[in-house]
Amino acid sequence: MTTHPTSGTGQCPAHTSAPPPEVPLPIYGPAFNANPDATYQRLRDVAPIMPVEISPGVYGYLTVTYRAALYLLQNTPSRFGKDPRRWEALRRGQVPPDSPALMMMQPRDNALWKDGPEHTRLRRAITASLDGVDTHALAATVRQIADQLLSAFAADGQADLVSQYADPLPMLTMIEMFGCPPALGRRIVVAVTRLFDADSDGVQANAELESACLELTRLKRVQPARDVTTYLIAAGLNDAEMVQTILLVIGAGSTPSSNLIMNSLRRIITDERFAGTVHTGVKPLADALDEVLWHTPPVSNYSPLYAIGEQSYEGVYLQEGFPILVSFAAANADPALPFAAGARAGNRGHLAYSAGAHMCPAPDLARIIAETALECAVDRLAGLALAVTPGELTARPATFHAGLTALPVTFQPDTHLPTTRRR
């Protein structure tokens, strides 16, 4: 059995049946971003849960098998809690105040970071608010936004489908859902994107995000409407809870949705099993979406958990006080899963939407946004092809999410207004 010492190092311990790396492997930086799967496999070769360095000077664990991820998620909150106040380094003031991990993992007054009755109350407010969303109207809104975005470049024959389509579409959709003035909505989602990128300006991005969410809350208290912000206010949330809940829901609905759209478009363009066939209807867009949710989940590593009391899993001792990140990417790529990696279309057993008490409260809304966005793009952009080699595509920082900095493409120029839709 091997132990990583904690005294004076900030590193977390793990007892494993095989020699682990000499120091916890980083899940940040250019090498990790370029090939996170290599890190996951190296860790998986040792144990199902392993120590990692989450960001410079911030240590914790990472689940790297499907079984381990599911075990932790299904045993929350009985054995593993969500409350970041259990984070020992945070309590001791040992987490750098400008740490990108801190901005993504610090305590917040929303359902994601609560256990027990408080979690139940705040989650019910979210689910009730999202239940008020008209799915037919949502799909129509996405189509309208998609057509506006596509029309801006459809005649050019080339575009960056990240900056010109996949990034703005969910942003504009969430602005509409929350009844948010456009300028204020853009401030919110730009700040969310900066937090997910785990960049060095996380403190500033967080401050901007909270300020904008408070501004939206105060606006809707005096100008209520039929939108998600007003529904949350009606659920009885105070200003602090409103700020953090808006942050949570818009954060979950924007950057992850952007990643899902861009990664699905990439697969449709480059995977010979999909390239061309979705245009003819031979293979449905939903199949490409399912495979992306398996192979490139939009949130790669997140859902920090904390062991409650003495906990172990398959020979790995999990010390209290250290965050345990769930790797949805590593779980879905686990070679121990009983079906081939290329045969997952239609299979929704993936963990892209998490599981257990903190599972995504509205996966159906997320699918409506993504499927409608893909449908519109495929209908309008005939002959889609990458404008660069696949190796020239650059990943965004992959600590918490899986996306691209750009997706340059070429296609047949289209000067006509959209007139048809695939059903």
- pLDDT at position 420, please? 44
- pLDDT at position 11, please? 54
Q: How far is CA 205 from CA 20, 48, 193, 251, 253, in A?
A: 36, 34, 9, 13, 17
- pLDDT at position 363, please? 94
Contact between 403 and 255 under an 8 Å Cβ cutoff? The reply is yes
Q: How far apart are CA 57 and CA 11, in angstroms?
A: 9
Using only C-alpha atoms, what is the Rg of the chain?
21
Mean pLDDT of 265-269: 93
With cut-offs at 50, 70 and 90, classify the pLDDT of residue 16.
very low
User: Which residues face 327 on adjacent strands?
Assistant: 301
The CA angle 310-316-317, to the nearest 5 degrees, is 25
Mean pLDDT of 250-275: 89
- pLDDT at position 285, please? 83
Contact between 75 and 341 under an 8 Å Cβ cutoff? The reply is no
pLDDT one-digit tens code per residue, 253-265: 989 999 999 999 9
For the domain made up of 1-107+300-342, give the CATH fold. Answer: 3.30.43
Of 130 and 348, more confident: 130
pLDDT one-digit tens code per residue, 85-99: 999 999 999 999 889
- pLDDT at position 422, please? 42
Mean pLDDT of 388-412: 95
Average pLDDT over all residues of the chain: 89
Q: How far apart are CA 75 and CA 58, in angstroms?
A: 25
pLDDT one-digit tens code per residue, 213-246: 999 999 999 999 999 999 999 999 999 999 999 9
Of 59 and 416, more confident: 59
pLDDT at 111 over 70: yes
Domain boundaries defined on the chain: 1-107+300-342
Q: Which amino acid would we find at residue 217?
A: T
pLDDT one-digit tens code per residue, 160-173: 999 999 999 999 99
pLDDT at 272 over 50: yes
Q: How far apart are CA 160 and CA 423, in angstroms?
A: 26
pLDDT at 19 over 80: no
pLDDT one-digit tens code per residue, 276-324: 555 555 567 888 899 999 999 999 999 999 999 989 999 999 999 999 9
- pLDDT at position 4, please? 40
For the chain, give the percent of residues with pLDDT over 90: 75
Q: Provide the angle, in degrees to the nearest 10, between the axes of the packed helices 116-131 and 239-253.
A: 60
Of 223 and 14, more confident: 223
- pLDDT at position 278, please? 52
Contact between 290 and 344 under an 8 Å Cβ cutoff? The reply is yes
Read out DSSP for 145-213?
A: HHHHHHHTTTTTSEEETIIIIITHHHHHHHHHHTT--HHHHHHHHHHHHHHHTT-TTHHHHHHHHHHHH
Q: pTM score, two decimals?
A: 0.89
Q: How far is CA 341 from CA 109, 140, 149, in A?
A: 38, 34, 34
Q: How far apart are CA 332 and CA 296, in angstroms?
A: 9
Q: Provide the angle, in degrees to the nearest 10, between the axes of the packed helices 182-196 and 255-270.
A: 70
Peptide bond into 168 cis (omega under 30): no
- pLDDT at position 423, please? 36
Q: Provide the angle, in degrees to the nearest 10, between the axes of the packed helices 135-151 and 363-380.
A: 30
Cα 232 → chain centroid: 22
- pLDDT at position 341, please? 61
- pLDDT at position 8, please? 35
User: Which residues face 325 on adjacent strands?
Assistant: 62
- pLDDT at position 66, please? 97
Mean pLDDT of 370-390: 95
Contacts of 388 (CB under 8 A, 6+ apart): 408
Q: How far apart are CA 408 and CA 265, in angstroms?
A: 11
